Amino acid sequence: MKVSIITVCRNAENVIERTIFSVVTQSCFAENIEYLIIDGASTDKTIEIIKQYSDKYPIKWISEPDSGIYNAMNKALKIANGEIIYFLNAGDRLFDEKTIELVLNEFEKCDADFLYTNVLSCNSKDLTDAKIKKYNNVDKYFLIRDCICHQASFYKKSVFDRLGGFNEGFKLAADYEMLLKIMADKNLKNEYLPIVTAYYDNTGVSSLNTKDLQEEREKIIKTNFSTFERITLKSKTYRFYRKFGAAIKFFIDQYRGTND
Which tens digit of pLDDT belongs to each residue from 104-124?
A: 999 999 999 999 999 998 875
Which tens digit of pLDDT belongs to each residue from 157-205?
A: 999 999 999 999 999 999 999 999 998 899 999 999 999 999 988 775 5
Give me the domains of the chain, ranges plus CATH numbers.
3-225 (3.90.550.10), 227-260 (no CATH)
pTM: 0.85
Which tens digit of pLDDT belongs to each residue from 133-165?
A: 999 888 777 887 788 998 999 999 999 999 999
Q: Which region, left, alpha or beta, applies to residue 215 given φ > 0 means left and ψ of -120 to 50 means alpha? A: alpha
CA-angle at 214, arms to 182 and 126, nearest 5°: 90
Confidence of residue 207 (pLDDT cuts 50, 70, 90): very low
Cα–Cα distance for residue pair 110/108, rounded to 1 Å: 6
Q: Which region, left, alpha or beta, applies to residue 27 given φ > 0 means left and ψ of -120 to 50 means alpha? A: alpha
The predicted pLDDT at position 238 comes to 45
